[in-house]
Amino acid sequence: MLFVGCLMALAAGFWFVLALRYNDMVVGSAIFLTVTSTFTSDFFAVQTGSVTLTLDRVWIVCLMIQLAYNIKFGWFIARPLQTSDICLAAFLGWLIIRTLMEPLGEQVKGQPSTVMHLLNGYLTPALLYWLIRFSRVDEKSIKPAVVILLVFGVYLGITAVLEIAKMWSLVFPKHIADPTIGIHFGRARGPMIQSVRLGICLNLCLAVLWTCVWWLNPKSKWVWGAVIAISPILLLGILLTYTRSIWMGTGAIIIISMLTLLQGKVRALALGGLFVSTVVAGLIVGPSLVAFQREYSEAETREST
């Protein structure tokens, strides 16, 4: 374990020096998302006294040192607060209050304790948002971050297909194939071993694909080729989560993307076509969306609805 810990420290030192060299909090945050989602404690962890070292925890320390580096050299940009920041802060405050109203340390089978859920689920994303918001953000930093997230999304989409096909020998990391770890075994759940978390990450990658790619270079054939090639992989992975809240989120992303990226008659035609197809699909497959087989029976899925 000491040898493995030394290797972790060496790797972290290399990536940290690289991060300081390029001084890019956006890319560092994209790397953190992929690491914390893929290489979880079920994949690798080193116990050092009372502290458990995982790859994502090592990387978040690197990001904090990067923040100190930015402040020291005047690269910390104190941008004024916007209405969206206040709304997000209020929402975060509500989530914290709701979490603290539950018994701290309580743990449901297959789920983290309320304390860890508060740290990992709410405060860490808020920290990443704050780090990026007050850092230099430009096209140079966004492009590699977009590439990282899209590669991550393709990996998740392919993994979802392999899970449903039960091709466990091709699934990575191997703990995904263990039904005793996490929840939602029987539907796509990814390295997070939880279908909702997998779906949220796939929806994030879908939003990045449709918005950032369009914004960065909308006239490039390579960009449109990437959109056409990657979108079905992400959408199929989202479908295989068999999670209706995730599907609703995907629908919201599609509608918002159409409203913000398209203009004129093209937007009207796209929204009209989406509305008609949604109504038709609802009439045809609507009842099956209420009760369908997941890891439990159709009756339990209906009760979930």
Q: Tens digit of pLDDT for each residue in 31-49?
A: 888 888 888 776 776 766 6
pLDDT band of residue 21 (cuts 50, 70, 90) is low
Range from 108-122, 171-185, 247-261 carrying the lowest mean pLDDT? 108-122
Closest CA to 37 of 53, 55, 25, 19: 55
Mean pLDDT of the chain: 79
The sign of the torsion formed by the CA atoms of 233, 172, 108, 34 equals: negative
Query: Residue 207 has what pLDDT?
Result: 92
**HSE of 280 in the Cβ direction (CA atoms, 13 Å)?**
6
Tell how far CA 29 is from the center of its chain. Answer: 11
pLDDT band of residue 302 (cuts 50, 70, 90) is low
Tell how far CA 247 is from the center of its chain. Answer: 15
Structure tokens at 106: 């309580």
pLDDT band of residue 158 (cuts 50, 70, 90) is very high
Most confidently modeled range among 96-100, 143-147, 199-203: 199-203
Query: Residue 143 has what pLDDT?
Result: 85
The pLDDT tens digits for 279-288 are 666 666 555 5
How far apart are the two ends of the chain, measured CA to CA in Å? 46
Residue type, 27: V
The owner of tokens 């304390």 is 115
Structure tokens at 189: 């759940």
Range from 35-49, 55-69, 121-135 carrying the lowest mean pLDDT? 35-49
d(CA 193, CA 189): 5
pLDDT band of residue 9 (cuts 50, 70, 90) is low
Closest CA to 203 of 152, 164, 167, 163: 152
| Residue 211 confidence (pLDDT) above 60 | yes
The pLDDT tens digits for 164-192 are 999 988 988 888 888 888 787 888 898 98
Does the reported pTM lie above 0.95?
Answer: no
Query: Residue 58 has what pLDDT?
Result: 78
| Residue 303 confidence (pLDDT) above 90 | no
d(CA 28, CA 263): 34
CB neighbours of 278 closer than 8 A, spacing ≥ 6? Answer: 251
Structure tokens at 148: 């990282």
Closest CA to 209 of 184, 185, 233, 190: 233
Query: Residue 150 has what pLDDT?
Result: 92
d(CA 151, CA 37): 13
